């Protein structure tokens, strides 16, 4: 999705994995259903019944709220590790 100022929202779906790899909406355009529309349209175009969301930032409350609204179910968690050099 675009407007005169540029990109508003985008989603990247990997059909071979049934995975939502990326989904973002410009901050001042959120809470208008754009992410839901992009994901729904992607599902429809690819003939998929559902998607896995990969690499979700667990500390991002808006992403977690969006996934809950989409009736997403948590199936796996990962730990992030950092090695100080």
HSE toward the beta carbon, residue 25, CA cutoff 13 A:
16
Those residues whose C-beta lies under 8 Å from the C-beta of residue 17, and which sit 6 or more positions away, are 52, 54
Q: How many CB atoms lie within 10 A of CB 70?
A: 16
What pLDDT does residue 36 have?
84
Q: Between vectors from CA 60 to CA 59 and to CA 66, what angle results, nearest 5°? A: 130
Distance between start and end Cα atoms, the chain = 42
What pLDDT does residue 68 have?
76
Residues of the chain with pLDDT under 50: none
| Dmax (CA) of the chain | 47
């Amino acid at each position: 999705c675009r407007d005169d100022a540029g990109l508003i929202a985008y989603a990247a779906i990997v059909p071979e994995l049934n995975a939502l790899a990326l989904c973002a909406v410009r901050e001042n355009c959120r809470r208008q259903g754009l992410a839901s529309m992009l994901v729904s349209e992607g599902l429809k175009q690819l003939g998929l019944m559902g998607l896995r969301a990969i690499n979700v930032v667990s500390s991002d409350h808006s992403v977690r709220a969006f996934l809950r609204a989409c009736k997403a179910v948590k199936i796996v968690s990962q730990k992030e590790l950092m090695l100080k050099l």
